[in-house]
Amino acid sequence: MDGIIPVYKERGMTSTDCVFKCRKIFKMRRIGHSGTLDPNVDGVLPICVGKATKVVNYLMDSGKIYIGEITLGFATTTEDLDGEVVEEKQLSQPFTTEEINDKMGELTGDLIQIPPMYSAIKVKGRRLYDYARAGDAVERPKRNIHIDYFKQTKKPIFDHEKGYQKIFFEVGCGKGTYIRTLAVDLGKKLGVPAVMSDLSRLSSGGFTIGQAVKLEDLKKAAENGVLDSKLYPTDYALTKFFHVELNEKQWLTVKNGGFLFPSEVGVEENKIVLMFEDKARCIYRYNEEKKRYQPEQMIDLN
């Protein structure tokens, strides 16, 4: 069984938990996810099954959409509500919608982001959260990210008693973006500590929240023998690339890892998906120096 399923990850479980449960449901080990969601975040988590695991990176390259809440007035060790408060500064008055919009606008486009200490990024073979838990100092790597848009979804709320202000937002972004850090950076732009206080992922890998399937529904589908009906084809992850249907002679060449020339495929694209018998078989990339297409990722050669 091969394909992609947009799982609805509930809060309280890790992305690895979802993979583990899917392995039990599908009764196979070759399963992986395309982009971690923190335990306190819910939403769309594309899961690749069987040969579709070979396109995980292409799914991760797709944009993501989140909605959530940022609280101004305090900061935590983890940049969300799971951590300990490390800074607090009560607001004497709320920021205006215009002030917030202006600073949000400064956090769009191509940016450099420093990921949170409590994250799974590896530095010198160790996860950052391992350094954080051990109290060890380490320089965090800077990352290039892209924010398509960052906007408010409704009017902010000001808590006069606590001196906190809640901002409700939606963000469209590229891979590698930490929304927790984006929340903290917005606070820095406004001159106050901030924390991401709520988050849900609405879209990932081309899948929307409306397509997402709960694990309990997957389990029922397995019990009823209709599990395959929940899978999207592997090609769903590759729709942005130009597709070429191969003839039998070309297919024989491709199966053996051979090269193809632009005149043979009739296109001049950077990457192409090669199809045979209505299945995505592999991804070829164009070698500018040698003026030919060569294998980048083999998917299904059977």
What are the residue numbers of the active site? 38
Burial tier of 191 (Cβ tally within 10 Å: 0-12, 13-18, 19+): exposed
State the Cα–Cα distance between residues 173 and 105, nearest whole angstrom.
13
Query: Residue 132's CB: how many other CB atoms inside 10 A?
Result: 17
Closest to 73 (Cα-Cα) out of 180, 159, 168, 171: 159
Which tokens hold the place of 165?
């202000």
Are 116 and 79 a contacting pair, CB within 8 Å?
Answer: yes
Closest to 150 (Cα-Cα) out of 186, 203, 115: 186
Are 75 and 187 a contacting pair, CB within 8 Å?
Answer: yes
What is the helix (H) or strand (E) element at residue 155, kind and residue range?
strand 143-159
